[in-house]
Amino acid sequence: MSIEALVRSCIIDLEPYEPGKPVEEVERELGITGVIKMASNENPLGPSPLAVEAVRRAAARMEIYPDGNAYYLKRELASLLGVGEDQLFIGNGSDEIIHFLGITYLHPGDEVIVADPSFSRYDSVATLMNATLIKVPLKDFRHDLEAMAAQFSPRTKLVFVCNPNNPTGTIVGRDEVERFLEKLPADAIVVFDEAYCEYVEADDYPDSLRYIGEGRHVVTLRTFSKIYGLAGLRVGYAVSSPEITAHLNRVKEPFNVNSLALTAALASLRDPDQVERSRRLVLEGKRFLQQSFVAMGLTCIPTEANFIMVRVGLDSRDVFKALMARGIIVRTGDIFGLQDYIRVTIGTAKQNERFVTALADVLGKE
């Protein structure tokens, strides 16, 4: 029998994830150096020096399996967040937790509601589990929670609210989220993906942990990949009820998060100054980029995250290529259905200036 006949049909339907292009690949392909990546919403300041030092020390003991229960990291997070340790699940990136949520809860034919465009990993796990994916278009680049709620049915199982949303950077506010939760069917779970929560400035950003405390079927996802600068190590976490956490614990592999990642995450939590520096850098960079776009006559989507979608008015793939030739990697909007936008990660002041100069050059602006 051919191998094609053996594979589950939903695997054929899966689209492999296309990550932002790595710097080394671009430098190799173009034969240039000094390329900067402003494509994957990483932290340009890098990790906390405390994390680097902790990894250096832990590296000497890497013959030992990691703590599969992530005891110390959970203890620290529980105390910082004011939740129980039995409400915390640590994942190999929040990507892994999205995957586990699907494996744990989705029966074939269950419905998964997502916004469109939003983070593509939600779609992938729905496809993987033979669930029915319902994509609800954004309204004014924000989640249209009313339209999403209009899709609720007895088959609704998982609802993903990416807040701030990747790729638009927009948020949904407390009042609309609370109205939305009131309509949630009893057998559905809402996942608030808060990968970028630390960058939010808006006053009405909801406190999703409160909803968990109220006993609702809510999962909050956070990550060490963004403001903590640990994307390369892969560590994220979920806060939810002890019951949901226990289900996820049954699904995970015994040692899903490696010992260097656990150590680095713990050390990062003990360096709030680095977090504050990272946040300030992004907020200053955001003002600079927004002002530069206005000066160039370009519009951008108001963002609450560490990236901005800017309307370049041309095919985003052409602008992407032209910027890449100038040593800057961004994300094209076409993959999100926004053909004439690009998404740029806010960088250091120097990187932002270099990006603006290159973009002005590409678009023929002064």
Ligand X SMILES: Cc1ncc(COP(=O)(O)O)c(C=O)c1O
* Region for residue 209 given its phi and psi (left: phi exceeds 0; alpha: psi -120 to 50; beta: otherwise): alpha
Among the candidate windows 89-97, 138-146, 173-181, 240-248, which touches ligand X by CB under 6 A?
A: 89-97
Q: Is 195 in the site for ligand X (CB under 6 A)?
A: yes
Cβ 41 to ligand X shortest distance, Å: 5
Residues 13-52 that bind ligand X (CB under 6 A): 41
Query: Does position 170 bind ligand X by CB under 6 A?
Result: no
Among 124, 156, 225, 306, binds ligand X (CB under 6 A): 225
**Which residue in the set 48, 87, 104, 223 belongs to the binding site for ligand X (CB under 6 A)?**
223
Q: Does 77 bind ligand X (CB under 6 A)?
A: no
Going by their DSSP bridges, the two strands 132-137 and 156-162 should be labelled as unpaired
User: Applying CB under 6 A, which of residues 93, 102, 169, 347 lies at the interface with ligand X?
Assistant: 93
Stretch that binds ligand X, among 26-34, 51-59, 91-99, 281-289 (CB under 6 A): 91-99
**Can you tell me which residue has the tokens 């229960």?**
69
Paired tokens of 118: 């939003």
Give the whole-angstrom CA distance, residue 66 versus residue 254: 9
Quickly list DSSP for 17-28: P-PPPPHHHHHH
Minimum CB–partner distance for residue 81 and ligand X (Å): 17
Strand partners, 309: 343
103 part of the interface to ligand X, by CB under 6 A: no
Instruction: Kindly state whether residue 119 participates in binding ligand X, applying the rule CB under 6 A.
Output: yes
Binding letters toward ligand X, positions 236-255, x by CB under 6 A: x-------------------
Query: Closest distance between ligand X and the C-beta of residue 365, in Å?
Result: 29
Cβ distance to ligand X smaller for residue 54 or 235: 235
How far is it, in rounded angstroms, from Cα 18 to Cα 340? 19
Q: Are 69 and 198 in contact (CB under 8 A)?
A: no
Exposed / middle / buried, residue 334 (Cβ in 10 Å: 0-12, 13-18, 19+): middle
Residue type at position 326: R
Query: Least separation, in Å, of the C-beta of 99 and ligand X?
Result: 10
How many chain residues are in contact with ligand X, going by CB under 6 A?
13
Among 95, 111, 123, 198, the residue binding ligand X under the rule CB under 6 A is 95
Hey, which residues between 290 and 329 contact ligand X (CB under 6 A)? none
Angle at 66 between CA 60 and CA 69, to 5 degrees: 150
How far apart, in whole angstroms, are the C-alpha atoms of residue 146 and residue 180? 7
Nearest position to ligand X, beta carbon? 93
Q: Give the residue with the Cβ less far from ligand X, 231 or 363.
A: 231
Question: Do residues 97 and 116 make contact, with C-beta atoms less than 8 angstroms apart?
Answer: no
Position 162 contacts ligand X (CB under 6 A): yes
Strand partners, 191: 160, 219
Residue closer to ligand X (CB basis): 122 or 180: 122
CA distances from 274 to 25, 50, 61 (A): 29, 10, 26
In whole angstroms, give the CA distance from residue 76 to residue 130.
37
Place of tokens 């776009």: 293
Q: Please identify, using beta-carbon distances, which residue of 234 and 354 lies nearer to ligand X.
A: 234
Binder to ligand X among 166, 241, 256, 278 (CB under 6 A)? Answer: 166
The footprint of ligand X (CB under 6 A) covers: 41, 93-95, 119, 162, 166, 193, 195, 223, 225, 231, 236
